[in-house]
Structure 1
Amino acid sequence: MLILHGGKRSPFVRRVAIWMGLQGRDFERHPVDLFGADFESFRVRNPLSRVPVLTTPDGDLIETAAIIDYLETTAAVEARLLPEPGAERIACLQIIALANAVAEKGVAYVYETERRPPQLVWVDWVERLTSQLAEGLEALERQTPTAGWFGGSAPNGADAAVVATVDFLGTVGDLQLAQRAPGPLALAARSRAVAAFDRTHPDA
């Protein structure tokens, strides 16, 4: 049995959960509170106390990209969520890279605005992050299909990454998602009809 360690809010943990759901894999989710009691003890699984971690029959895997590579490598060809090597794969990976970068900026925004004491918030850094998030979301908006999926008739890895990122940002204050990224928001709404997305949603 595969075991996914991490919280429900993390877009990186959720991307892995969506990926496994779309591949039809059985797995368990183990919540981790890295802002509380689990921080020190979790180093046995990841020396940096970061999530996600995926426990496999061969041991623990760390970092989203490495975990996804394992899932793609061990999946049947028809269950893989990345196109075969070539132009389509490069395009898919670029969408994933953009979504991942936006998610990273969103996490940094959360740390600065939610975790730091208000009197210590670095206002210039918040403004920089807000600008980067706006540009990243607008770039996703330009590339998101108006109907269906990045993967065409079925969701692929780009859909998993974009939906995980957009739904995470939906938990973060007022980032004006409706104005900046109506397309990705609509994609996220459509995704709720698919169990792999719906069961892993932050509100589920």
Structure 2
Amino acid sequence: MLILHGGKRSPFVRRVAIWLALQDRAFERRPVELFGADFERFRAHNPLSRVPVLTTPDGDLIETYAIIDYLETTAEPAYRLLPEPGPQRIACQQVIALAHAVAEKGVAFVYETERRPPDLVWPDWVTRLRSQLEEGLAALETQTPATAWFGGTHPNGADAAVVATVDFLGTVAGLTDPATMPRLLALSGRSRALPAFATTHPQA
């Protein structure tokens, strides 16, 4: 049995959860509270005490990209969520990279505004993060299909990454402007019709 360690709010943990579900893999989710008692304990799975971690029959895997590579490598061809090597794969990976970078900026924003004591928040850094998030989301918006999926008739890895990022940012009050991202929000809405996305949603 595969075990996915991490909380539901993390966009990186959720991307792996969506990937596992879309590949129809059996797995168990184990919550981790790294801002609580789990921090020290979790070093047994990752020396950096960070998620996601996927426990496999071959041991613990760390870092989203490495976990995804494992899932793609061990999946039957029909269940792979990345195109075959070539221009389509490069394009898909670039969308994933952009979504990942936006998610990283979102996590940095949360740490700065939710975790740091109010008197220690760096306003210029918050402004910079907001600007990066706005530009990143605008770039994703222009690339998001108006209907269907990045993968065409079925979601692929780009859909998993983008939806995980958009839904995570939606957990931060006032961070995004719905008027500027209609395609991204529509993609998120469409994803809710599929169990792989609905059951892993941060508010599920």
C-alpha distance in structure 2 between counterparts of 1:112 and 1:72, whole Å: 34
Question: Residue 84 of structure 2 aligns with which residue?
Answer: 84
Question: Residue 15 of structure 1 aligns with which residue?
Answer: 15
In 2, are the aligned partners of 1:11 and 1:165 still within 8 Å (CA)? yes
Displaced runs of 4 or more, over 2 A: none
C-alpha distance in structure 1 between counterparts of 2:177 and 2:19, whole Å: 24
The percentage of counterpart residues that share the same residue type is 76
Q: Deviations over 1:147-178 (max 9, x none)?
A: 00000000000000000000000001212330
* 1:179 Cα offset (Å): 2.3
Structure 2: gaps of 5 or more residues: none
Q: Does 1:107 align with 2:107?
A: yes
Secondary structure of 1:93's counterpart equals helix
- TM-score of the aligned structures, taking structure 2 as reference length: 0.99
Question: Residue 187 of structure 1 aligns with which residue?
Answer: 187
Question: Residue 75 of structure 1 aligns with which residue?
Answer: 75
Structure 1: gaps of 5 or more residues: none
Question: Residue 62 of structure 1 aligns with which residue?
Answer: 62
In 2, are the aligned partners of 1:53 and 1:61 still within 8 Å (CA)? yes
In 2, are the aligned partners of 1:2 and 1:55 still within 8 Å (CA)? yes
In 2, are the aligned partners of 1:92 and 1:157 still within 8 Å (CA)? yes
Provide the aligned C-alpha RMSD in A: 0.5
Q: Deviations over 1:165-196 (max 9, x none)?
A: 00000001212330222211110010000010
Question: Residue 167 of structure 2 aligns with which residue?
Answer: 167
C-alpha distance in structure 1 between counterparts of 2:177 and 2:39, whole Å: 32
In 1, are the aligned partners of 2:170 and 2:176 still within 8 Å (CA)? no
